[in-house]
Structure 1
Amino acid sequence: MSVSSYRNKVSQINSQIADLMKKQVAERKKEVDLNSKINDLSKRAFSTKNLSTIQSYQRQIDGKSKELIRISSKVADFEKKLADKRKELSRNQDYLTKAIDSETKKRQNQELNFLKEKERINRSELGNIRNLNSEIQRQQNIFENYQVPESELTDDDVDYSLKELTELHDRINSVLEKLEKLGYGQEIIFDEIEQLKGKSKKISKKDLKMMLIGKIVSFGMGKIDTELAAQIFEEITSVDLTKLIE
């Protein structure tokens, strides 16, 4: 049974014991009263010499003695019932103590398991954060260290031709298709790269590269890994960053 059931049982037995004691006290009062009356009748019978009066007193004494025997028997019966109830109470109190101990241990084990699980999750989250920070740092280092070679500065600092824009948009679409297949269709990085198609009509090749770096670093870190970031950059700009990822 549960702790609640044992508590109810103990409370019920205590109530029964109190009721038995109340009834026993009432019978003991009757017992004392009868003894008192018998003693009084005995004194009266002893003090008189009239035979008929003595016989009358004796009949009353006999009647009250029988009643006293009956009352004494009830008192003894109540005493036996009380003894049984006290044993039952003691037994159920032991059950209650054991049930409380069991529930306490169970609760403590649950709390301990909860704390262990929480600690495990915290360690896992801490590991993920460290890995994320490391990945972010790698991406930042790669793109921070990227510089347009001197020989390309002149070529890069020009606008796209119509043909080049068409090719660029095709490359961006290819990247977006790849991101969507990888499950990034609803991510910010997807929308940011999509916006490059509109902005490429107004900016130079060099600016687009710098803008792409900013978008990947700002929105990509933590969402895509270094290798994928480099692939996106390479596919759109034709610049190979593989050597920088080692």
Structure 2
Amino acid sequence: MKLTIKWDNFLNQLDTFVSEGKVLLEFENSIQTEQEFEKTKTEIKTWKESCFEFLKSSFDKNEFAISFHNARQERFHIGNQKKDYRQIKTETFQDLKEKINMLVYFKRILSISDAIIKPEIVELIDRNLYTTEQTLELILDKLYDLYDNSYHSISTILEGNGVTQKRHGEDRELLKMLEDNGYVSAMHMRDSAGQLTLRGKLYVEEKRKAHKENYNDINKSQEEINERVDEIIEKLTKLGYGQEIIFDEIQELKELYTTLNKKNWGQLVKGKVVDLALSKLVENDTLSYIYEKLTDHTLRLP
């Protein structure tokens, strides 16, 4: 699945729809007549249609638009019994709340979906070559970033981060492995979903804290490093970073690659990236791209 518009534009429009939906919700208690309700119901219908069309046009597939369209409060109907308008009003506003909550959830789940919101930064080919252990770690990392009272679809997390399931039901097996280790609570339904446990949260925190980089696996030629540095500079230029100081810092890595040993050169790359992070000159997503491009390691900023 691909986002067909810029993430910032998508996010701003999503926030606008949420705000407009909440304004409509405020009418629930002030409506006193069926005529007043019909007017507001028309406005809610227009809002829902606008949201649906926006979601449909923002992706190359319709999963999010369909999920939004189907979001409604579950309820029972008794035969062909006609409902009083007050009951219809209650149900209409309940469904509106569900759809607003769905938009809020889209914002959350997409914020951790690297392949959707920043495909130009993440090396997606590498993600598709992840080992089982790397895939499990990615799931835990994303569930940590989502940590709340909800259960989150494992297949959505995988697809949203560029990991293709090699066979049907792999998401269910991965979730079961994490559940057996006590790292997640699981819901094994039509779509397997997980929620990070406190033990899982502690595991991720300890792993992030204890992680020490081993740069001995950096084994590129000077020509490869030169090419990667040039690619980074080209990417930064396209993203609108024109500060000469940034380019100078990165260009220096070419000259020092054969001068320093692997450990010191890797530490130098990390140091430059951290300095850029502290200076706020470059966004963290772009810093991750720089670091991963040069070292093939995942960036963990302090």
TM-score by length of 2: 0.28
The answer to which structure has the higher helix fraction is 1
Bigger RCO of structures 1 and 2 (CA < 8 A, at least 6 apart): 1
Larger Rg: 1
